[in-house]
Structure 1
Amino acid sequence: MLVIFRDFAPEHYIENFLVDVGELKMVEQEVVKEGQENVSESRPSRRANGTWIDHRASDGVARIFRRAVSFLPSVNYSMSEQWLVLKYRPGGHYAPHHDYISYSSPETYDFWMKNYGNRMATFFWSYSLLKRVEV
């Protein structure tokens, strides 16, 4: 199921969020290696720099988090992982994919799977810094 919220946040919420995450150190992102659940690798499919951030790490981030919670109040956010904030590099893009991991056996479960189970949903928020130009 896909739920779309257009005009999710006011412009000043977005600006504050971008200022806050702009101060974070971003690192090249990796993906889980196919068939090796506990191994990550760089792949051309994810040309992005990013970092994890707690939902309440700063005022701008916390405001966007509270906004998301207000749109989906029945979700239990106490079990949610931190946000992965990505900045795509030239040629990079978001590729739709299943956002859960199929483990080969319980022995290969990571911390999250052992303690919380597999992912139920993904909150995805896309924002482009490109401005619309009238021609």
Structure 2
Amino acid sequence: MKKSKLSVLTGIATIFTFTFAGYETTQNVQQVDASSKIKVTYTLKVHNKTYKKKTVKLPKHSTVMRGLRKCWKVKSTNGFITSIAGKSQKPSKKIYWTYRINGKFAQKGAAIQKLANKDKVKFTLAKTSF
């Protein structure tokens, strides 16, 4: 009788141990997943008026283009963005898409420029001087 009670108690203890160990592992995985993401806010401006705005979660080290494509339909030619969310550039009128990150003009193309957590990316469709 004592042997069977001991076996039952040992079995129950084993089940609880594995259950709680599995729960802890799941929590750790969720924490790792959350820390491997960044949050970036995108704004589209057309002729200096805000057209659309979205905040997205992306994997760390994502590019501007990856986040942009996650938010809206994007068309590009030879590495240059030609259309975002149905709004197209007009080269004959010198109207092009340009972008800034955290208020500063980007130094790299959208397909190369890496993002950091809480970056603010603003795309503007307007007449340019170049």
Shorter-chain TM-score: which interval?
A: under 0.3
When the two structures are superposed, what TM-score results if normalisation uses the length of structure 2?
0.22
When the two structures are superposed, what TM-score results if normalisation uses the length of structure 1?
0.21
Q: Tell which structure's C-alpha radius of gyration is larger.
A: 2
- The structure carrying a bigger strand percent of its residues is 2
- The structure carrying a bigger helix percent of its residues is 2
